[in-house]
Structure 1
Amino acid sequence: MSPEVRVSAVVVVAGDRALVVRKHGASVFQQPGGKPDAGESALDAAVREVAEETGIEADPASFVPLGRFTDAAANEPDHVVVADAYLLRLERPFAAASAEIAELRWLAEDEVEHTPLAPLSRNHLIRHAWA
């Protein structure tokens, strides 16, 4: 069995676009998020990571739980990522790449097929943007 990496991931949506980020040194995009700090809840990690990576500061009550999803880890070979995922809808598409983020994109649904996405994003999370 592959080692697990526990994360919180957030499907951020504004209008008909979903936010994806690419971390420095990574070749694929994924939802904003990351590993919880010691003693931090999955929701608290989601709120903190979104703010750190994108500058989006949102009320924790705005994060809608989507469930827990598992897939191959994009940036850690031979690992499995287990993500507690949330949906966050914004009034307008504002975000700025910061922390470990090299690039961000606001994707329309018809751009997903041609965008390099992490397995967790492609197979489980991105579809929630348009559900």
Structure 2
Amino acid sequence: MEKDMVAGLIIKNKKVLLVHNTKHNGLRIEPPGGKKKAEEGWRDAVVREVSEELGVEVDPVKFFGAYNTNSPEGKFSVHMYFCDIISGKLSVLEPKKIPSFAWYSYDELEQLSKSKILVPNMRQALSEIRKYL
């Protein structure tokens, strides 16, 4: 069964904010996000997930796209939104799962994509994301 997921694309100074996720035995680099609860809307899920992971409140200003991916953890439908930070300070709130975060340029994303450390939905969206970085 496909899992509904959300991800927030936060862009500043031609760089995108990505978290370093160590939850699944190794490092994955991905946008902040996670599972959508059955009772919540897509935008509400993005707001909740980004807040839980990074301690900031975001406004999901625009739907970016939906990407279907397969991984060892299962099948996912990831709905991505452009988000603006509206309050709070970026912080590591779940250090065992997400020990750090960083801002990445398009060239850096390309390198990460080649190494497969970048999650599949970001690799799929890379050419479209380039327009914004």
Q: Does the TM-score normalized on the shorter chain lie above 0.5?
A: yes
Moved over 6 A (4+): none
CA offset digits 1:40-80 (Å, max 9, x no partner): 11110101111111122123xx431112211223xxx1612
CA deviation profile, 1:97-118 (whole Å, cap 9, x unmatched)? 2223122110011111222201
Q: Does 1:109 align with 2:106?
A: yes
Secondary structure of 1:97's match?
coil
Specify which structure has the higher proportion of strand: 2
Q: Which residue of 1 aligns with 2:123?
A: 122
Are 2:80 and 1:82 aligned? no
Distance 1:57 1:125, change over 3 A: farther
Aligned to 1:49: 49
- SS of residue matched to 1:39: coil
Q: State the Cα distance separating 1:17 from its structure 2 match.
A: 0.9
Q: What's the secondary structure of 2:28's corresponding residue?
A: coil
Aligned length: 122
- 2:28 and 2:128 map into 1 onto residues whose CA distance is 17
SS at structure 1 position matched to 2:67:
strand
Work out the CA distance in 1 between the residues paired with 2:73 and 2:3: 11
**Aligned-partner SS, 1:46:** helix
Q: Work out which structure has the larger RCO, using CA pairs closer than 8 Å and 6 or more positions apart in sequence.
A: 1
Superposed CA offset, 1:14-48 (max 9, x none):
12110111223342101110112230111101011
Question: Superposed, which structure 2 residues align to 1:85-100 within 5 Å?
Answer: 85-90=80-85, 95-99=90-94, 100=97
Report the counterpart of residue 23 of structure 1 in structure 2: 21
In structure 2, what is the equivalent of residue 7 of structure 1?
Answer: 5
Q: Which residue of 1 aligns with 2:63?
A: 65
Report the AA paired with residue 124 of structure 1. Answer: A
Contact 1:18–1:129 (CA<8 Å) still a contact in 2? Answer: no
